[in-house]
Amino acid sequence: MKILSLKAREILDSRGNPTVEVELKTQKGEFVSGAPSGASTGIHEAVELRDGGARRGGLGVLKAIKNIEEIIAPKIEGKEISSQEEIDGLMLELDGTDNKSKLGANAIVAVSMAACRALAAEKNIPLYQFINELFNQKREQPLSLPSPCFNVINGGAHAGNDLDVQEFMVVPQASSFAENLEIGAEVYRELKNALKNKMGPSAVNVGDEGGFAPSLEYPEEALDIILEASEKKGLRQKIKFILDVAASQFFEEGKYKTKMGAFGGEDFADYYCDLISKYPIIGIEDPFAEDDFGSWTILKSKLSDFGTIIVGDDLTVTNPERIKMAADKKSCDAIILKINQIGTITEALASAELAKRLGWKIIVSHRSGETGDDFIADLAVGIGAEFIKSGAPARGERAAKYNRLLKIESKIRQ
């Protein structure tokens, strides 16, 4: 594949903040990808390069764009690129840091994704199939559709309410993606009615990921009203929950300071066990701070009889070294996979392969600051991820991923 040109521009993400979009041109056409951006980011994530200063509140990405056009582009324009590993390896060499702080993870990830699209086009195959072929170089993994996790109530860093828990995700239990999407949309619609009737019109304002941001304080309140809405549609027995606690956001001085009080690690683990005993919760993401390994291990031991997965996000940051550390300490048994946490497709696939080898579940994830790019839908199918989360079944940048999965399902099952 010969790269004819590589250009970058500053665009807006779903929060109205600047982000990077690249356009990579080959003889097969132009391939565009946009870099997502997180709000509750782990301290071990690859570094997102921002300009600082007064312009655009310091959030501009002109430095990252300059790095693409003046450092990356001259090295690849006019060159024959034969593989994903080649272009990713070249960018890693040009960056030369452990955390992508020189070029910026937002610069690197956008180029990596565009290159992946171009390489798929070069082989005249869909993106999900190309990713599957890349992944199968590491392990045999058939194509499969993930279960969607719909963030229907937002809290934490994603909303302006009093909920400590960041995401209340509904996970439908039907046999096809299309059916699961229908269930998720029905619950979301009925939840809107329930919140409006109970709390007034302001209760259906939405957070960053399209979920509602009502004036609630306690997790039980959010779970109860979702179950009530599901019951009205006859869907209560067809849904389960995954919660993203994002506990690093309220971990201070060795305590988890919540609306329910301040908890030590073991006490907080006991609270989770009590919550899981009362509600159909199949997963808890980031129940503790990213370096509080002892508390993670305690919870994993306590949940051994529940069948509830413990999901690392800030803990593992799509980084093989962090995943190995979590495995050694018996901290979790599932990971969130976010490409921009690590920077390249090659590294993200290495993390996915390691998770599969450990027998862990994978949740491919968007970020709270998104673009209309639907790359992660193909990624989830290509690696056989068990789950995908892309926010609520609403808002264009969220629905784009779910609609892409509908299209992929129709092609795979033809």
Q: Which of 320, 232, 235, 336 is nearest to 284 (CA)?
A: 336
**Cα–Cα dist 78/3, whole Å:** 5
User: Which of the listed residues 90, 124, 158 is the one where a domain comes to its end?
Assistant: 124
Q: Are residues 164 and 241 located together in one domain of the fold? A: yes
Tell me how far apart the alpha carbons of residues 200 and 91 are, in angstroms, rounded to a whole number: 51
Pair (269, 356) in one structural domain: yes
pLDDT at 76 over 70: yes
Q: What is the pLDDT of residue 40?
A: 65
Residue 176 in any domain: the answer is yes
Of 289, 301, 296, residue with least CA distance to 254? 289
Residue 141 lies in a domain: no
Contact between 168 and 214 under an 8 Å Cβ cutoff? The reply is: no
- Check if 338 is active-site: yes
Residues 48 and 170 in one domain: no
181 and 111: one domain? no
With a cut of 80, say whether residue 117 has pLDDT above it.
yes
Same domain for 46 and 168: no
- pLDDT tens for residues 285-317? 999 999 999 999 999 999 988 899 999 999 999
Percent of the chain with pLDDT over 90: 92
Q: Which domain holds residue 200?
A: 147-412
| Shared domain check, 396 and 284 | yes
Place of tokens 């199949």: 282
pLDDT tens column, 209-262: 999 999 999 999 999 999 999 999 999 999 999 999 999 999 999 999 999 899
Tell me if residue 257 is catalytic. no
Question: Residue 368: inside a domain, yes or no?
Answer: yes
pLDDT attached to residue 42: 72
Question: What's the domain count of the chain?
Answer: 2
Residues 237 and 338 in one domain: yes
Among 109, 124, 139, identify where a domain stops: 124
Band of residue 406 on the pLDDT scale cut at 50, 70, 90: very high
Residues 161 and 119 in one domain: no
Give pTM, 2 decimals: 0.96
- The whole-number pLDDT of residue 157 equals 73
Mean pLDDT of 354-383: 97
Mean pLDDT of the chain: 95
pLDDT at 43: 85
Is 139 among the domain residues? no
**Active-site residue among 25, 338, 356, 361?**
338
Query: Average pLDDT for residues 22-27, to the nearest whole number?
Result: 98
**pLDDT band with cut points at 50, 70 and 90 for residue 41:** confident
Average pLDDT in the 395-408 region?
97
pLDDT at 247: 95
Q: What is the CATH number of the domain that holds 35?
A: 3.30.390.10
Q: Does 74 lie in the same domain as 195?
A: no
Q: Which entry of 48, 186, 209, 370 is annotated as an active-site residue?
A: 209
Q: In the numeric block, which tokens belong to residue 212?
A: 């509602």
Q: CATH number for the domain including 293?
A: 3.20.20.120
Q: Per-residue pLDDT averaged across 324-331, rounded?
A: 97
The pLDDT tens digits of the residues spanning 261-272 come to 999 999 999 999
Question: What per-residue confidence (pLDDT) applies to 91?
Answer: 98
Query: pLDDT at residue 12 above 90?
Result: yes
Gap between the Cα atoms of 144 and 131, Å rounded? 12
| Same domain assignment for residues 241 and 180 | yes
Answer yes or no: is pLDDT of 39 > 80: no
The yes-or-no verdict on residue 138 having pLDDT over 70 is: no
